[in-house]
Amino acid sequence: MRRLLAGLCAVGLLTSSAGAVVSEMTPPPEEVVEENTPTADYTASADVLYELGLFQGAGVDRFGRPVYELEEPCTRAEAAVMLVRLLGLEEEAKEAAGTPFTDLQDWQKPYVNLLYHRGMIRGASYDKFEPESPCTAQMYTALMLRALGYSDQTGDFTYDNALSFGMRVGLIDNFSCDLDDFRRDDAAQMSRMALELKPKGSETDLLGKLVQDGAVDAKKAESVHAETAQITALTNQVQASAPYQSDVFAAILDDGKGNSMSLHGTLINEGNRSRLDGMLSIALNGGHSVSQQVIVLRDSSGISISPWTAGDYRDDQVAAFLRDVNILSLVMTPMPARSLIGDITQKGQTYTMTLSEGAAQLTFDDKGIPAISSLYMTLHDVMYSVSTETVKTTDVPAFSLPSGYSSYIKISNTP
């Protein structure tokens, strides 16, 4: 079940749901049916796009506030509308020539027509676009890559490897979208990420290009560029402070499917790579639990974990769980993924970052090395907690690849 609300007491968070009021004379219900109501995780990104005039959502409420309906699935037609608006081409779309597609509604035609003639979108067949069919993460990634000037016709990427290529250029990361259940909030988040990227062959990022083209007000773009610069500067500061050794504790009490885990170990961070030696414990829905000493590695190829040797828990089960919750991406990198970070505030040597649903804190010592960090957040209704304390900054053991590294299980293809 996607986005099922979970609680995490280990980090002092408490969530509750209010039940119906039942009188003493009313018998209790025989069965409680829990609705699967998706939540929107990237409202802040939609707000940024809205303020820039690149996203309109589904209208406004009676108070004049935008209504995004981000929890709704994203259709192929909606993806076309979002892309045209992101590129600031809505006026030009009104003049676009027609297409062979016979299944488009009048409001959909300008957007699909423009993208079709620019070679950025294709139909389901020669004369059918299937505008109400779901837009997948792979499909929207391909659209965004084409919008950034990359071509799957001349060999920059292929449709099949659009997701991995999107990760390589920074369009998506391990947290920027739900690959299995792509919704409007995921599309908004990916669009927000695209603003910071330089289109192929360009000297400025997409947002800067939109300002140059007159599609976005320069003053409104300044705050977004300032936020990006601040995050980049903090990331560079963290990278430059390595190497150091830390104690790490991470936990997920519920992944929305009744599974949980904890990880406690020693992390050696060298900036562009890290190694963790520790104890990983996983409890499955139904009461089955296993624990094992593990080695986790992060390098230029991504994140890998040592093979699982417990006879009652297969490697593919461990890998599937860890890929689904992405906890190792939070543990093995000193900064949260770019897609998670909103505002950053500084007080002394402590930086507080607002995340999609939660916050992270990072405190530097007097030598400029990360001393203590903490993170808690809810994303796709999985609740994460990670805490790190630096214990050694000199004579840090050298990063080493363990024997049998070739048999390690790949968890993430991005560092």
SS3 279: strand
What tens digit of pLDDT does each residue of 158-171 get?
A: 999 999 999 999 99
Q: Where are the domains of the chain?
A: 43-216, 241-412
pLDDT (tens digit, 9 = 90+) per residue, 337-361? Answer: 888 998 899 999 999 999 878 999 9
One-letter amino acid at 207 equals L
pLDDT for 334: 86
Instruction: Convert the pLDDT of each residue in 36-54 to its tens digit.
Output: 444 567 888 899 999 999 9
Nearest to residue 116, comparing CAs of 216, 210, 104, 54? 104
Q: Residue 319: which of 267, 261, 270 has the closest Cα?
A: 261
Average pLDDT rounded to a whole number, residues 70-89: 91
Note the pLDDT tens digit of each residue in 287-331: 778 899 999 999 888 899 999 886 667 788 888 888 888 899 999
The continuous run of DSSP H or E covering 386 comes out as strand 382-392
Query: Hey, what CATH topology would domain 241-412 get?
Result: outer membrane lipoprotein receptor (LolB), chain A (2.50.20)
pLDDT at 316: 82
Q: Is the pLDDT of residue 7 over 80?
A: no
What is the per-residue pLDDT across 95-127, written as a single tens digit (0 to 9) for each? 999 999 999 999 999 999 999 999 999 899 999
DSSP 121-147: ---SSSS---TTSBPPHHHHHHHHHHH
Spatial contact of 375 and 360, defined as CB atoms under 8 Å apart:
yes
pLDDT digits (tens, 9 = 90+) for 163-216: 999 999 999 988 888 888 899 989 999 999 999 999 999 999 999 999 999 999
Q: Alpha helix locations (H) across 203-301?
A: 206-212, 218-240
Mean pLDDT to the nearest integer, 382-391? 94
Q: Which of 340, 329, 365, 345 is nearest to 230 (CA)?
A: 345
Q: What is the pLDDT of residue 414?
A: 63
pLDDT in the model for residue 174: 82
Partnered with residue 275 across adjacent β-strands are: 268, 297
- pTM attached to this predicted model: 0.82
What is the pLDDT, as a whole number, of residue 37? 45
- The per-residue pLDDT for 30 is 41
* pLDDT, tens only, 223-232: 999 989 999 9
Q: What single-letter amino acid sits at 402?
A: P
What's the confidence (pLDDT) of residue 212?
93
The count of residues in the chain is 415
